[in-house]
Structure 1
Amino acid sequence: MKFYFTFLILFLLFSCESKKGASKQMITHPVIQENVAETISSKTENIKNDTFQKKVYVWLKEDSINFKKLEENYTLTVFNNSDKPITFGKEFQVESYSDNKWNVINSHIVFPEMAYGLQPGRRYDLTFSPKFDGGLNFPGNYRINKPFFIDNNDLNRGFATDNFKVYTPLIEGLEQKVFLEIPKTFKMSELKNKVFYKVINNTKNTILFGDRYELQKFNGKDWQKIKLSFFVQDIGYTLHPGTEGFQERFYFKFYPEQYQYKPGLYRILKNYYSKSGSGLSFRGIPYEKDPMLSEFRIIN
């Protein structure tokens, strides 16, 4: 079925004075509006029978944004499917979901003062930069709240909301698992030194891990835990999908004064926690515990 669109160019822009009692001064600005007959994006497919509720919608063209492309501009559409005209500006709230609640993250960003007019049954496209407009710096779940005013009434305010996520792509050519990288060989003379490690999360889940670890020795049949006594801080690190972590705190020690090491095969075990439908809970979020292991040899 072919749809024919009627394009109407309106020139409507309000420059709002911040001083109390100051009047609004109108200047011209091109606003391209499209007819409702246009096929709507997949963001509104959840509306039954291709009919829309009588309200104002906002949506991003992309449901998911690559973490490496946060500085790019994306299309943010405002669709007035209400029966009254609305006005709106460039400002919007961006919220991240953490600790079981939504938190505004772009309150520090200042938007230019201007207003667009949008008649019923019309849509308008804005540009949106997740990093510079939204203050996004990390992968996760987010939403946009777009404020608007009905009938050009400052007291009659509403919000249109759309959810999206920022993801990190997995590392191509690498198995989908969590890797613990350390040197593969140690000399006896090196056991008194700190050993730094790197964690690679090539799974689809965000993981948590801490400083705790366990050393084990292979006896030819089984892995036996080496009994060591040491203190570690109860701290947690977060690693998003497709990313790796390495810092000065990521190290372990052999404590050769507590155990008499001999040449042979050993391994280090560290537990990590990933989001799942069951298991442990961290800040109210279910997590499941899994091990990450790395083998190494000790030589003379």
Structure 2
Amino acid sequence: MERFVDAGNLSLCTTTTGDPADPAVLLIMGLGLSYDWWRDDFCDALAARGLQVIRFDNRDVGRSTHLWGPGISSWGFLTRQARPAYTLGDMADDAAAVIGALAPAGAHVVGASLGAMVAQEVAIRHPERTLSLTSIMGRPGDRRTGKVSWRRVPDFLRPPAADPVEGMVRAFRRIGSTYRTPEDDDDVRVTMRRAAGREATVPHDGQGSGRQLAACVAERDRTEDLRRLTTPALVVHGDVDAVIQPSGGRATAAAIPGAELLELPGMGHDLARSTWPAVIDGIERTVRVSRTRA
């Protein structure tokens, strides 16, 4: 069942899986993707480990509030110049509002891709609500590490595919793990249709992903703030990720005191099902470290 959380002038659509009495894990998804992209099977597997899973639609996606106005131009993306409508810090404050409403004792914060950068900002800006941090496919924002490979830049500049569903399947084949399977492709098809159906119920201008991308391009260098974190942290990255290259994960782990770096062979910029056991084990391990310290 969905529940809407008030975050100032925004309404954020959330859903939970698992026992509310269990430790809470907040999942933050990446660029332009609704909470549906944290697949139900993945969340069920976390819940089976004794965790309450909280998912939510970031602003500008899914059934959460959509803003209006331009995102970022192709030239702005290429030159890394953006005038964002909001920042990753603003998105982190949204996530913190969800924690405050659904997990007042705090949550283990997990983010993927753009969501990883938002998760880092949650840990920095709201340490009292962050029990642990798992940064998946992220970077610290230093503009040196985790850059997009030039061979993947055209993916950000392509016009919309005539068939958005099959276009997304092809996109994940280009940027994803070397061991993607037909089941992973079917996951994309099912999730795309489900996400599109949910988003169709909300007024929007179709520019939400562009506004999120502008916030990502305009990100600040979080390195020094990451060095001051005291929460347990896990950094997960694929060694063939060409969208946020592995140096981003390595730099993130190097910045956070005591962070574990889990670099997965053959993993690209996706969460293919074959990565789930290692990722879920890592999240559970990080939660356990946090509870031991408490």
Q: TM-score range by the shorter chain?
A: under 0.3
Between structures 1 and 2, the one with greater helix share: 2
Whose relative contact order is higher, 1 or 2, with alpha carbons under 8 Å and at least 6 apart? 2
TM-score (norm 2): 0.20
Between structures 1 and 2, the one with greater strand share: 1
TM-score (norm 1): 0.20
